[in-house]
C-alpha cells in the first residue's frame, strides 16, 4: 500500500521520528566563491568550474560529523568530505541521522530542505 504525503508532513515525520531537521543545512553552490575554504584547498577554480558547467550545481550538506560536497552527475552521485574522501550515499545519509532504508535520495532531501529563491 502506498501513501501520499505532503512535504511539510514529511518534514514533520522526519523530525519527530528521527529527531532530524535539515533546514539550513543544505546550500546550493553555483560558483567557486561560495565554496568553503577547506573545499577550495582541494579543488581549484578551473576544476570546479568544469564540473559545474558539465553537471550543474553542487550542494554543501552539513552532516552531524562532517560537511559534504554533493553533485548529481550523469552516471554517479559525487559525494566527498572536506578531506577529499569519496563517501557512499549510505554513509552520508546516516551521518545526517536518517536511516538508509527509509528510501529517500539525496535529491529528495535537497528538494525538501533547500531554501527556494
CA distances to 6, 42, 109 from 115, in Å:
17, 27, 11
13's CB contacts (< 8 A; 6+ apart) are: 5
Map residue 117 onto helix, strand or coil: coil
Q: At what angle do helices 7-18 and 106-113 cross, to 10 degrees?
A: 110
Over residues 76-89, the pLDDT tens digits come to 889 999 999 999 99
Which band of pLDDT confidence, cut at 50, 70 and 90, is reported for residue 4?
A: low
Q: How is residue 82 written as a grid cell?
A: 572536506
Q: Is the pTM of this model over 0.75?
A: yes
Amino acid at each position: 500500500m502506498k501513501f501520499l504525503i505532503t512535504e511539510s508532513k514529511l518534514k514533520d515525520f522526519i523530525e519527530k521520528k528521527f529527531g532530524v531537521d535539515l533546514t539550513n543545512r543544505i546550500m546550493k553552490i553555483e560558483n567557486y566563491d561560495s565554496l568553503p575554504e577547506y573545499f577550495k584547498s582541494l579543488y581549484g577554480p578551473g576544476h570546479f568550474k568544469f564540473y559545474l558547467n558539465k553537471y550543474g550545481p553542487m550542494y554543501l550538506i552539513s552532516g552531524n560529523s562532517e560537511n559534504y560536497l554533493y553533485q548529481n552527475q550523469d552516471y554517479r552521485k559525487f559525494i566527498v568530505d572536506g578531506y577529499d574522501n569519496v563517501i557512499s550515499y549510505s554513509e552520508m545519509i546516516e551521518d545526517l541521522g536518517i536511516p538508509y532504508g527509509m528510501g529517500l535520495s539525496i535529491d529528495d532531501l535537497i528538494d525538501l530542505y533547500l531554501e527556494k529563491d
